[in-house]
Amino acid sequence: MYYANYLKFAERARTDMLRDMGIIQSQLCNELDVLFVVRRVEMDLIKPARLDDELTICTVIEQLRAASLTMSQTIHSIEQRLTTILVEIVCVDNRFRPKKLPEVIRNKLGGSQ
């Protein structure tokens, strides 16, 4: 599999995880003037995925800061770990200026300040 596709799958998994936590990104933008943007990505490609492999993506919030969060993700096939990804996501307003995570979002993400 082409390496950039791992990043696409990871993005979908992060979006699904947030949605499962009750965080809908389009609502954040419209109601709270909050956007999540990727600031940094580290990816280790361990083994390639093959055509028709069933993939599982595990996403964990590693660190929650005032205006950012770091997530680790692992992509597995049934038999083995294929990729590890570390993503730093920052919270910005609609002008792309840093913005503190709203308390309601922080609480859903499992942190408080």
Residue carrying the six token digits 């307003």: 93
User: Cα separation of 105 and 101, whole Å?
Assistant: 7
User: Cα separation of 71 and 1, whole Å?
Assistant: 23
Backbone region of residue 96 per phi and psi (left: phi > 0; alpha: psi in -120 to 50; beta: other values): left
pLDDT confidence bin for 111, thresholds 50/70/90 = low
pTM: 0.88
Domains and their CATH numbers in the chain: 3-109 (3.10.129.10)
User: Cα separation of 71 and 83, whole Å?
Assistant: 14
Backbone region of residue 33 per phi and psi (left: phi > 0; alpha: psi in -120 to 50; beta: other values): left
Instruction: Tokens for 54, please give them.
Output: 């069933």
pLDDT confidence bin for 1, thresholds 50/70/90 = confident
Confidence check: pLDDT of 112 > 70: no
Q: Which helix (H) or strand (E) holds 86?
A: strand 81-92
Residue 14 phi, psi dihedral angles, 5° rounding: -65, -45
